[in-house]
Amino acid sequence: MQFERDIFISYAHIDNESVIADQPGWITEFHRALKVMLSQKMGGEPKIWRDLKLQGNQVFDKEIVDQFSNAAIMISILSPRYVTSDWCKKEVSEFYELCSRKNEFIINNKARVFKVIKSPINLEVQPDYIKNMIGYEFYETDPTSGNKKEFYPFLEQSAKNNYYLRLSDLVQHISDFLLELKTIDAGSTALPVPVDPGKQVAQIFLSETSSDSREMRDNIKRELESHNYKVLPQSQLPLDESMLKKEVLKCLSECQFSIHLIGSKYGIIPEGTEKSIIELQAEIAASVAGSGKLDQLIWVPKNVDITEEKQKRFLKDLNEGNSALLKTAELITEPIEVFKEVIFDKIAAMEKKKNATEAQTKEVSDKMVYIICAIEDRELVKPVRQFFFENGIETMLPIFDADADETQIREDHIDNLTHCNGAIVFYGNGTEAWFRGKIKDFDKYGNNRDQPFSFRSVYMAPPSTESKTFFLKPGWDVINGISEFAGPEFKKLLSKL
């Protein structure tokens, strides 16, 4: 996918009016810093466009529409003026429509719009097409007063630090996405190669939080992504209980680990429930963790000042061990930096276990079991083959092709006996002479092997005969499947491979 420009910045002109004399406007400084940081990240200067002259009372003409079709992504800078401006909302809808005509608004599960929230904006008044996206908030909430404070790069040091931290997150994600688009240009829809191609990293669910914990969530998200982990959810969770549960379950199905930050505020309560989005996410994760498919960590701060009764109850149950969530989750009340160490220790242990399992699976998947049966038993032998298939083991049968000559059939039989890891003689409808001949083949050709058999087994299948009852031979396992399929006995054979 080739574009003349990398980025189109959509904004309200009033948001670029400087609040300090002789200082650049917020948008101008954002544009400048974005360009510099992206240049350093990507090793080349990005092409960024924003209109400098068009005003809200001018006609929405071809000049600005052309920028949409020529831009890889749009940055939409939300503010109170932006969400009331027909012009700004039209930019979002026009960009969406142009991308959607080619089915190119979502690429590799990522939208081509990045939502920057300059000032606090209620979700319901945000433009429809970007409402459910997780935005980059350039403001913070004072935990004492609840006042919202915007980040400015030219005010006090704390505001400046927060501004560039948030901008750094945005730059990283834009850089990654632009590189993905270049990969697609090269003829592949695959993601860029990770820093360590041999490392299979985890996908992690990092629950949405209340406003007082959002900065801590962003810090943890930033550190996880810097280690090349994928963090979910990647879009705003729905504010409807049933839809939220569906989306959270979908995210959790892709994850091996969930993290929950519980702060001083209870959080938003979706429609259809009396529980907050924070408590709901923890409960849904607990239901998944209860099945053994997920590890779950919950962090609660010590000595936090709480005014909301629901949050007091929620934290009291957690701290006193009365919450049902603690049946599946590990509760951490240490400082946030200690909690981060616990997170990465947990991930390291999880990946170690996963790598060991994968190595074991690979070792097993390289094995082959030779199942020797008469042509009359090709259907009866299917459950045996299915069992090994479900456990990642390849099986081979003799050649039954009517066009193959006896020499070819015999050579294939000897080759399988020589190279298989384990062998099973399936004694069903074959004659007693056939069965004795196959057993003798092991004595005749088994000595040509480099390694001994992991197992040699006889599976007694229907019909019942006297010869099947009395077969005994040292070094052989005998499995009785005359009455019913002896599945549990095959599990013993797996342990020998």
- What's the rounded Cα separation, in Å, for the pair 217 and 223? 10
Token code pair at residue 149: 């404070």
Return the pLDDT at 408. 87
Residue entry with tokens 């074991």: 360
Pair 12, 30: CB distance under 8 Å: no
Note down the domain range covering 318: 199-362
CA pair distance 491, 207, nearest whole angstrom: 40
Cα distances (Å, whole numbers) of residue 66 to 8, 58, 152 = 11, 16, 31
pLDDT value at position 144? 66
Assigned token pair, 101: 């005509």
Q: Which of 362, 395, 411 is the last residue of a domain?
A: 362
What end-to-end distance do the CA atoms of the chain give, in Å? 49
Is the separation of the CB atoms in 449 and 418 below 8 Å?
Answer: yes
**250, 343: one domain:** yes
d(CA 7, CA 5): 6
Q: Are residues 30 and 177 in the same domain?
A: yes
pLDDT in tens, 384-422: 999 998 888 899 999 988 788 888 899 999 999 988 999
350-389 residue pLDDT tens: 888 777 766 655 555 578 999 999 999 998 999 999 999 8
Residues 225 and 175 both lie in one domain = no
Which segments in the chain show pLDDT lower than 70? Answer: 53-66, 143-144, 146, 185-201, 357-365
**123 and 8 belong to one structural domain:** yes
Q: Do residues 248 and 357 both lie within one domain?
A: yes
In terms of phi and psi (left: phi > 0; alpha: psi -120 to 50; beta: otherwise), the region of 475 is: left
* DSSP per position, 222-249: HHHHHTT-EEE--BPPPSBHHHHHHHHH
The pLDDT score that the predictor gives to residue 358 is: 63
- Give the domain-ending residue among 192, 227, 261: 192
Do both 293 and 373 map to the same domain?
A: no
What is the domain-level CATH number for residue 127? Answer: 3.40.50.10140
Does one domain contain both 221 and 173?
no
Query: What pLDDT does 245 receive?
Result: 94
Supply the pLDDT for residue 182.
80
Beta bridge partners of 370: 396, 423
Q: What is the DSSP string of 139-162?
A: EEE-TTT--EEE--TTSSHHHHHH
309: exposed, middle or buried (Cβ count in 10 Å: 0-12, 13-18, 19+):
exposed
| Same domain assignment for residues 302 and 439 | no
What is the Cα 425 distance to its own chain's centre?
44
Looking at the 3D structure of the chain, how many domains does it have? 3
Claim to verify: residue 105 and residue 172 sit in the same structural domain:
yes
Instruction: Spell out where 312-421 has E strands.
Output: 329-332, 368-373, 394-396
Task: Provide CB contacts within 8 A for 127, sequence distance 6+.
Answer: 76, 83, 88, 89, 92, 93
**Interior angle at CA 316, CA 312 and CA 322, nearest 5:** 140
Do 270 and 238 touch, CB atoms closer than 8 A? Answer: yes
CATH number for the domain including 215? Answer: 3.40.50.2300
Q: Which residues of 101-125 are buried (b: 16+ CB within 10 A; e: fewer)?
A: eeeebebeebbbbbbbbbbbbeeee
- 222 and 182 within one domain: no
Domain end marker among 192, 227, 249: 192
d(CA 122, CA 78): 10
Which residues pair with residue 480 across a beta bridge? 460
**How far, in Å, CA of 252 to CA of 203, rounded?**
9
- The type of residue at 477 is D
Same domain flag for 120 and 229: no
pLDDT score of 195:
37
Do 418 and 288 share a structural domain?
no
